Amino acid sequence: MTGRRPKNGLREVAQLAGVSLATASRALSQPDRVSENVRKRIEEVCRQIDYVPNHTARGLSLKRSQMLGLIVPTTSNPLFAPTIDGVRMVLDEHGYNMVIDSAERDHVRELEMVRNLVAHGVDAIVTIMPTHLPELFDFVRKMNVPLVSAHHFSPGKSVPTVGYDNVAAITEMTDHILSLGHHRIAIFSGPGHTTPVIAERLEVIQARLAAAGLPPRPDWVIECDYEVAQMRRAARALIAPDDRPTAIICTGDQHAVSTLVEAQLLGLPVPEKLSVTGCNDVAIAELCNPQLTTQRLPYLELGQAACRLALDMLAGRDVPERTLLPHRMIIRGSTAAPTKGLSS
Amino acid sequence: MTGRRPKNGLREVAQLAGVSLATASRALSQPDRVSENVRKRIEEVCRQIDYVPNHTARGLSLKRSQMLGLIVPTTSNPLFAPTIDGVRMVLDEHGYNMVIDSAERDHVRELEMVRNLVAHGVDAIVTIMPTHLPELFDFVRKMNVPLVSAHHFSPGKSVPTVGYDNVAAITEMTDHILSLGHHRIAIFSGPGHTTPVIAERLEVIQARLAAAGLPPRPDWVIECDYEVAQMRRAARALIAPDDRPTAIICTGDQHAVSTLVEAQLLGLPVPEKLSVTGCNDVAIAELCNPQLTTQRLPYLELGQAACRLALDMLAGRDVPERTLLPHRMIIRGSTAAPTKGLSS
DNA sequence: CTTCCTTGTGAAACCGGTTACATTCTTTGC
DNA sequence: GCAAAGAATGTAACCGGTTTCACAAGGAAG
């Protein structure tokens, strides 16, 4: 503290150690290219003055930032938390940082975010948006920035994609209900217009039921937002009448649990008089009574795989266009064969 | 596409527009300092070649990155999702980006993360860690980087802190149970050793019960991890015996809901024979039967306020050392006076 | 004792922007 | 009609690192 410090970062270190800037830089990034003696002296100085390297400058020079950009549809839906966590786990192993943006379920905004991330110099991008603007593909190709799409296989994606088999998962669940002998089946779904994944499930279930020869019941196809009061109201409307379904297939666990709660309040035993299925296997699927039959979807693994792929692309390795991750049906206590005499 | 592009970013724009680099730069950052004519020409060129600015270079020159660092205790606990969301909301308004790190509930790692974030050039930092290493305060002071701590007021924090009154909230809840006339009260808690906030709640509840003259029942103080099977097992052990409490105060909603489920399985009516309280008011508090009496804690607001404070500090404005956000007790169906004859 | 090759180090260019200062060209005032 | 003020633009230094290249010293080979 005797005089004013140059405060030029590495320049100061170099000066204090009595070497040139270049040597100081090498001592830190390629320790074996400098003499033992000098290296130790520089390390000592770094400790002394508590030197903090400037990754911005480093990034400018090296043209890489050690940062990966992650775009999520929304930060408020806890469903994506495991995916974010998966990305973070892999990033941690590689000393990478994560900058995260929310596209607010909007394609146009997604493209903005991608431009923004590229402007900020991220080395690669993972996006969990289910579908993308075509311009997005042009942009990343032109900018030559690795981008991988995680979550949903939709036609026309021209970037590496990792996902699970949404159609198979919900088909399997529908077949489970059908094979139990149910004929009076309702669908309780999240809003399809904001979420292609949900729209797809809804569509697949309906098609499957029709294929099984069940007459369509439009009043048994409910779309409802994730707000608790709304879900419970809708669930009640579905199961309160005497003319009620014997099974309800939900596109998400929240809707299923809401249904369970309302059934309980109405004194309708599950699964004896009503079977209910969920999807996603979030924590609440086990925190209800009975526990939920649901599909465990690989959200954590989605994040991990997508992140690995992105880093692979960055390293110049070839990556597959599609990576399919397995789902698994978890049959718990909320489904059973319909009571005789009610099912037909 | 006639020849090779210089590909020097703004230099290329300048060249194509027939102006100097400085003018091009000004046209974008201070449009009113260049002539109408030139500005339009430059904007046109930018559009033509789809110019993407380099924020890294900009950051190096300006010494600010338009990025804020956020440190969370863990990304796997969805409890912090609203806080992250709150930060993001405010950041969006200011055109800031967020780089997020997980400290894995570890102080030492938190300090590493802070150093890492500073090295990456973030303009300010928000951390949701409940307590910090003393070295952290020295570091941020020395580096002169705005840091605000959100979540918990613990003694000795020498940085601006935003939080809620954890002690008051859990005291209020304990008093609610006491005032209903309960004397046989158990505590079902998350793990205190990993989470100071939980440890504090546990301590406060015990002190309050003792102050009310209740004899201590060590077997009615349970600490249990957040894993569903574990929580349910512990809850069952607590309420299965005939010698059971008439009320269970939980330090988190998950524990409370687990208890609710087990009570239901045992045919133990809530709230008639057992009162249960939660804390945090996460979504499941409304997705159970009966709905949970709990404390609504301002997690979203925590993120918003902390982020605003951080940006204020960055702008050189004075900020309060402590910002207290209100909590609110939400009395729902899971609590009631004990049945006569059982309570005493 | 040269000559050639290593090895360690320094000087300077560079990454892609921002900006203080200098310069040129208009205005405006007297 | 000329000086002074003002507006638009250009020149060059700078942010804090990395890296190419040149150079000097030391060791091995001839």
The answer to whether B99 contacts A102, with C-beta atoms less than 8 Å apart, is no
Please, which positions of strand D sit below 7 A from a protein CB? 7-12, 14-20
Residue B343: band (very low, low, confident or very high) from pLDDT cuts 50, 70, 90: very low
* pLDDT at residue number A343: 40
Query: Based on the number of CB atoms within 10 Å of its own CB, is A340 exposed (0-12), middle (13-18) or buried (19 or more)?
Result: exposed
Q: Identify the pLDDT of residue B55.
A: 97
pLDDT digits (tens, 9 = 90+) for B35-74: 999 999 999 999 999 999 999 999 999 999 999 999 999 9
Contacts of B99 in chain A (CB under 8 A): 67, 97-100
Average pLDDT over every residue of B109-117: 97
B105 neighbors B195 (Cβ within 8 angstroms)? yes
Which architecture does CATH list for B166-297?
3-Layer(aba) Sandwich (3.40)
Which residue ranges have CB below 7 A from strand D? A 7-11, 21-22, 25-26, 28-30, 53-54, 57-58, 60-62; B 18-23, 26, 33-35, 37-38, 57, 60-61, 63
Question: B interface mutation test: which of A58, A75, A135, A266 has the most B CBs within 10 A?
Answer: A75
CB A321 within 8 A of CB A106: no
CATH number (3.30.2390.10, 3.40.50.2300, 3.90.470.20, 3.40.50.300) of A62-164+299-325 reads 3.40.50.2300
CA distance to partner chain A, nearest, from residue B39 (Å): 21
pLDDT of residue B77: 85
Partners of A82 on chain B (C-beta within 8 Å) are 76
From CA B191, how far away is CA A263, in angstroms rounded?
Answer: 33
Q: What is the CATH number of domain B10-53?
A: 1.10.260
Nearest neighbour of A55 by CB, restricted to B75, B120, B143: B120
Helix (H, G, I), strand (E, B) or coil at A100: strand
Could you tell me the pLDDT band of residue B75, with boundaries at 50, 70 and 90? confident
Q: Tens of pLDDT along A184-201? A: 999 999 999 999 999 999
Q: What does the alpha-carbon distance between residue A116 and residue B125 come to, in Å, rounded to a whole number?
A: 20
CA distance A66 to A97: 6
| A185 CB-contact burial (10 Å; exposed 0-12 / middle 13-18 / buried 19+) | buried
- What are phi and psi for residue B7, nearest 5 degrees? 60, 35
Q: Supply the pLDDT for residue A200.
A: 97
Domain ranges of chain A: 10-53, 62-164+299-325, 166-297
Q: Does the fold of domain A166-297 match that of domain A62-164+299-325?
A: yes
Token code pair at residue B111: 């300090």
Over residues A286-295, the pLDDT tens digits come to 999 999 999 9
pLDDT, mean of residues B266-284:
96
pLDDT value at residue A115:
97
What is the predicted pLDDT for the residue at A341? Answer: 54
CATH 3.20.20.70 assigned to domain B65-164+299-325? The reply is no
Return the pLDDT at A76: 84
Please report where in the chains the tokens 């007459």 appear, as a residue.
A215
B62 touches strand C (CB under 7 A): yes
For A310-325, the pLDDT digits (tens) are: 999 999 999 999 999 9
pLDDT score at B107:
94
Which strand C nucleotides have any atom less than 7 A from protein CB atoms?
Answer: 7-12, 14-20
- Assess whether pLDDT exceeds 80 at residue B147: yes
Distance between CA atoms of residues B11 and B25, nearest Å: 9
Strand C close to A35 by CB, under 7 A: yes
Chain A: give the shortest CA distance to residue B215, in Å.
Answer: 32
Q: Which of B250, B260, B193, B179 is nearest to B221 (CA)?
A: B250
In SS3 terms, chain B reads as: CCCCCCCCCHHHHHHHHCCCHHHHHHHHHCHHHCCHHHHHHHHHHHHHHCCCCCHHHHHHHHCCCCEEEEEECCCCCHHHHHHHHHHHHHHHHCCCEEEEEECCCCHHHHHHHHHHHHHCCCCEEEECCCCCCHHHHHHHHHHCCCEEEEECCCCCCCCCEEEECHHHHHHHHHHHHHHCCCCCEEEEECCCCCCHHHHHHHHHHHHHHHHCCCCCCHHHEEECCCCHHHHHHHHHHHHCCCCCCCEEEECCHHHHHHHHHHHHHCCCCCCCCCEEECCECCHHHCCCCCCCEEEECCHHHHHHHHHHHHHHHHCCCCCCCEEEECCEEECCCCCCCCCCCCCC
Q: What is the pLDDT of residue A8?
A: 83
